[in-house]
Amino acid sequence: MIAPMKQAYHEVRSSRPERRGVSRRSSIDEAKAAVPVIDLADLLCGPGQMRRMGERWVARCPLPDHEDRSPSFTVYVENDSWFCFGCLRGGDVIELARYAWGYEKAEVAMAAANLLHEFGYDPPPRPPSWYTKQDRQGPVRDGIKAAKVHAARRRLYRRFFEPLVLATADQDDREHDARIFWDATGELAEHLVECMMERA
């Protein structure tokens, strides 16, 4: 028998959808349906490089980090997959694109979109939920950016301008100079934060 707390937890878990947010599966599924492995393999190996051996096609491995001396790259047309007996990698068309074009495991959706683009297909449009999420999260992102700008502004002021203000003898001049220097740090801090966010 499930304890009341666990039962309530399972009821809440079962009442909400399995995945929340934007799914990347649509571009991956569309790329798998649109581009056969043999077409990508032929593109990567070069025209006329693949040979038919029964129901499979073989060639030298086209992956950039594997120098293949004998044909060990095999494409299985019947189940739309590939395997290289030299580097011991294989999978579907997305995995071949990912290995060939240097995408990380987390960048599978980007590899799928690039694959569709390479073969002249349009990537699937973003679902309406993506735009709703962007609108919903906009104020939070703006608030985070404003906090980062304020923190960078304070650091700039304390590091470079506060010593100049403290060197001023008159108290009224200090307040006036502090206001001028504080205003001067605004655009610079915003520019620094934008550069850091672009690099991240």
Task: Flag whether the pTM goes above 0.75.
Answer: no
The arithmetic mean of pLDDT across residues 3-28, rounded, is 51
The hierarchical CATH code for the domain 25-118 is 3.90.580.10
Q: Hey, what are 121's tokens? A: 């297909």
Q: Hey, what are 122's tokens? A: 């349009």
Phi, psi (degrees; rounded to nearest 5) at 78: -65, -35
Q: Tell me the pLDDT tens digit for each residue of 135-152.
A: 999 999 999 989 988 898
Strand order in the sheet with 73-76: 51-53, 56-59, 73-76, 81-84, 89-91
Check whether 16 has a pLDDT greater than 80: no
Average per-residue pLDDT for the chain: 83
Task: Give which of 42, 41, 23 is closest to 81, Cα–Cα.
Answer: 41
Could you tell me the pLDDT band of residue 24, with boundaries at 50, 70 and 90?
low
Cβ-proximal residues to 63 (8 Å cutoff; 6+ apart), any chain? 84, 87, 89, 99, 100
Q: Domain segments of the chain: what residues?
A: 25-118, 128-199
Cβ-proximal residues to 56 (8 Å cutoff; 6+ apart), any chain? 74, 75, 76, 77
Q: Residue 145 CB: number of other CB atoms within 10 A?
A: 14
Q: Hey, what are 74's tokens? A: 């095999």
Q: Tell me the pLDDT tens digit for each residue of 183-200.
A: 888 888 888 888 877 775
